[in-house]
Amino acid sequence: MREFTARELRAYLESASPKPLLLDVREPWEFETARIEGATLVPMRSIPTRVQDFDKQQEIVVICHHGVRSRMVGLFLENHGFSNIINLTGGVDAWARDIDQHMATY
């Protein structure tokens, strides 16, 4: 699993083609509070029952609040045959600090 900082992810997203799936694994209330544009919400607890919904060939950026839950989900996905996973180190908290200072924090 690769680990990207918020700045590295922003730069990567500017040129990535095709665009990766931005998989936000936080709770719905967290997603409503602050989210990265274009992210898809699938709470961490739902991942085991939804893993078959994801394309194993697609690049997936896993996102959470600080990067801990997303790393755990990334490892889970790798254990289920996914090989193109990126964890957003620092999560949406780092994104709000380093990329989008207008984003709400919590």
| CATH (domain of 29) | 3.40.250.10
Closest CA to 60 of 41, 78, 85: 85
* Residue 78 placed within a domain: yes
The residue segments making up the domain with residue 62 are 2-98
pTM: 0.96
Q: Which tokens in the block code for residue 90?
A: 């620092």
pLDDT at 37: 95
* Residue 106 placed within a domain: no
* Residue 103 placed within a domain: no
- Domain count of the fold of the chain: 1
pLDDT at 14: 95
Exactly one of 47, 64, 86, 94 is catalytic; name it: 64
pLDDT at 21: 98
Q: What is the mean pLDDT of residues 66-94?
A: 98
CA distance 65 to 69: 8
Taking only the tens place, the pLDDT of each residue in 14-72 is 999 999 999 999 999 999 999 999 999 999 999 999 999 999 999 999 999 999 999 99
Beta strand 2-4 with 85-88 is parallel
CA angle 75, 77, 78 (to 5 degrees): 65
pLDDT at 84: 97
Active site residue 64: yes
* Residue 104 placed within a domain: no
* Residue 105 placed within a domain: no
